[in-house]
Structure 1
Amino acid sequence: MKIAENTNLYKIRNMKLLKMSKIFAAVFSVLLILFVTFYIIIESQKNNISIRNIKKAWNDNYDYQTVYDISKQFLQTKPFNNTALIYNSYASFFLSQSQLENQKAQEYLDECITNLRIAIYNSKKSIQPQIYYMLGKSYFYKNSLSSHYYSDLAVKYLLLAKENGYKADDIPEYLGLSYAALGMTVESISSFTEALLIRESDTLLLSIAEQYYKTKEYNVSKQYLFRVINNSKNDNIIIKARNLMANILIDEEKYDEALEEFNNVLQKTENSADAHYGIGVIYEKQGNIVKARAEWRAALKIQANHPLALQKMSEN
């Protein structure tokens, strides 16, 4: 009987100890969490890692590198904080634009896109159109840096921004260029025409002319090219416009006028592979293959991988 009582007492004592150890473990866990939280706050304040300092760096002088550095540190402890995600992505975008190395620019753009896509799920509805806009621009520039194609995503998010009421003067031009990259000529012309109503530029006029050339609307294309050639002060744009004008004249079988345009290009720069290639095409159409091949060889000396000159040399 006494042995049974001792056994019960032993069990009760063990249960109390187990209960006390659980309470102690729970209290210790709470204290540990409080300590870690307190430590993070102190360290954050010590290193100026706070949303307030991120905003200050942005608002004071658009210090993108500082915004990027602080927001990145902040996200290490709070990876889903929308404000930090958005500031980090915007800073990443602008830093990508200033990079001389293609690889580094792509890394910043990838970080920008990743953080924007995370931020959009928990963002307020009022700022979602702006996020769509930045995503569209980021994919546009990623397309220009990469061997992959992102123009479809650029179009998707730029249209979402536009449909949700976001207004930015450059949206129609970005859409026009993205549609052009996708071979959607009609949509490209429509967007470029809209962009032209907002702001006229030489590059925009040339882009519209290129799209009308693709649809074989030569007279319309030439009207835009005339405006570029007569008004632009940028020699590179004028050279592109004259080369395109000459190609239209070749298609119209106006070979003497086309040759004159190509010669105007070569007067500005002897290193125009496209002009030499085009002159070769004129000689080919006139039945002079010897002179044509000489021009294509000249094009390949300037640009060894000129695809059209290479093709002509292999065929003739």
Structure 2
Amino acid sequence: MKGRYGLELYYHRRRVVILGIIASITGLIVISFLSFFLVKVFRDKILNSDSVSSMYSNWDLHNLEGYRNVYNVSLQILETKPYHNNALAFHGYSSFMLAEYETDNQKARALLDEAIFSLRTAMRNCKENSLAQIEYMLGRSYFYKDKISNYHYYSDLVVKYLTDAQERGYKSDDIPLLLGLSYASLGETDRSIASFTEALLVRESDTLLFDIAKQYCKNEQHSVAKQYLVRVLETSSNEELLNSSHILLGQIYINEENYDEAESEYNYILQKDDNSADAHYGLGVIYEIRGDSIKARAEWRKCLKIQFNHPGALKKMS
């Protein structure tokens, strides 16, 4: 009996030890899991919260260093959370701003591609009250990409996203100007004039007055175009813009068959600078109309010496 009792006691103690080991291992597993979970929560909630706060505070600096910091912080978040909405939006915003500062067009285009990709991805899951802001920045990104590409491939997207932003109630002083320039690129003259006129109410500038004049000229509303050009000539100190205004006035006078006035405009430019290809071309057109083909071709040759690929002179000399 004693031997049997001792054996039972041995097995009992063994079970207790085994159960204790299992309980200890289970406890360690639970503690490890909880530790991992708490670390993850801390990292996601606390650290990411700090990172998002950092993006906001750096963005509010409105300078190059701040935009670089936003770009780097948002990139760090996206490496672990590629669909983090705030990070996507801020990465798009900062990429666009850095592109505007960039003097290398190739680097600027790469940054704009980053901006567009990030903003379009952010649109998928963003809150309704953030959508208009993202659409506005997308419109600006496409406008700048259109500008540095020298081809108007993106003007329709500028119009789409800026008008979408406006329809959602977003307001920014530069929207009418950007729409006016984009409509002009698309050949939608009436809409361009309407947007430019709205932009003029926000802030008048000599460049804007000239752009409006060009659109009225395309619309064959020459008398209105001349009024805007006169305002440019009266207010601008930009020599290049003044010369462009005289060139456009010369074209209008030719269309009105007022050749003496047109000749005066071109000669005025050439007296200050004989290297104006457009002025030589315009004089050639006037001489051609008057029947003096020798003088006309002489002016077009001067034009091509200054600008070898001048489309008007090339066509005339072909």
How would you bin the TM-score normalised by the shorter chain? 0.7 to 0.9
2-structure distance, mates of 1:208, 1:57: 38
| 1:226 matches 2:230 | yes
For each residue in 1:1-39, what CA deviation from the matched residue of structure 2 results, as whole angstroms up to 9, or x when unmatched? Answer: xxxxxxxxxxxxxxxxxxx9xxx9xx79x96x949x75x
Cα drift, residue 56 of structure 1: 2.8
Residue among 210, 215, 219 paired with 1:211: 215
Q: TM-score of the superposition, structure 1-length normalised?
A: 0.84
Residue among 280, 287, 300 paired with 1:296: 300
For each residue in 1:102-128, what CA deviation from the matched residue of structure 2 results, as whole angstroms up to 9, or x when unmatched? Answer: 111111111111111111121111121
| 1:136 matches 2:136 | no
CA 1:49–1:266 in structure 2 vs 1: closer, same or farther (change >3 Å)?
farther
In the alignment, which residue of structure 2 is the partner of 1:202?
206
In the alignment, which residue of structure 2 is the partner of 1:109?
112
For 2:268, give the aligned amino acid.
N
| 1:242 matches 2:243 | no
Cα RMSD (Å): 2.8
- Divergent runs of 4+, >4 A: none
Residue among 82, 86, 89 paired with 1:83: 86
1-structure distance, mates of 2:94, 2:133: 15
Which of these two proteins has the greater Rg computed from alpha carbons? Answer: 2
For 2:230, give the aligned amino acid.
F
- Matched-pair contact (CA < 8 Å) for 2:152–2:185: no
- Matched-pair contact (CA < 8 Å) for 1:136–1:155: yes
Q: Secondary structure at the match of 1:287?
A: coil
For each residue in 1:173-209, what CA deviation from the matched residue of structure 2 results, as whole angstroms up to 9, or x when unmatched? Answer: 1111000000000111111111111111111111111
| 1:254 matches 2:258 | yes
1-structure distance, mates of 2:184, 2:79: 40
Q: Would you say how many aligned residue pairs link Structure 1 and Structure 2?
A: 288
2-structure distance, mates of 1:50, 1:170: 31
2-structure distance, mates of 1:199, 1:284: 42
For 1:123, give the aligned amino acid.
C
Structure 2 residue ranges without an equivalent (≥5): 1-21
- Matched-pair contact (CA < 8 Å) for 1:74–1:84: yes
Alignment of 1:1-316 (within 5 A): 34=36, 41=43, 50-60=51-61, 62=63, 63-146=66-149, 147=151, 149-314=153-318
2-structure distance, mates of 1:82, 1:150: 25
Q: TM-score of the superposition, structure 2-length normalised?
A: 0.83
